[in-house]
Structure 1
Amino acid sequence: MLDIHLMEEGKPTRALLRIPSGQALTGWDDDDDGHLEDPWTGEVITSTSRTFLITVQTTP
């Protein structure tokens, strides 16, 4: 995985440091609160969107 961005309708994409697990996003993971985090500042990103753009690189 090379890059992760949060996608929100009508807004530019926003880079993320981490993406929570599916269980965390639904509130079922006691060890992960499901927060989104800015990669440069560590700031918690508040959003109701759960749409992500993930860039991956495949190897030949």
Structure 2
Amino acid sequence: MMETQELAQLLNQVEQKGISWEKLEEELKISRELLNLYSKSGPVPPRIINNLKKFIEEN
């Protein structure tokens, strides 16, 4: 699934940039565990992908 691959790539960017998971969870109002679950099974809600992209750009 396209969304799961895109989410996995975005989560990798978070790791590579050294962005705090606590900050991500607080701003996006979603847990790391749930993001990991979505990245493995999908479908990923478009809102999550869009919010994560915006968050990465700003941090």
Shorter-chain TM-score bucket reads under 0.3
Higher relative contact order (CA 8 A, sep 6+): 2
Question: Normalising by structure 2, what TM-score?
Answer: 0.25
Rg larger for: 1
Question: Normalising by structure 1, what TM-score?
Answer: 0.25
Query: Which structure has more strand as a fraction of its residues?
Result: 1
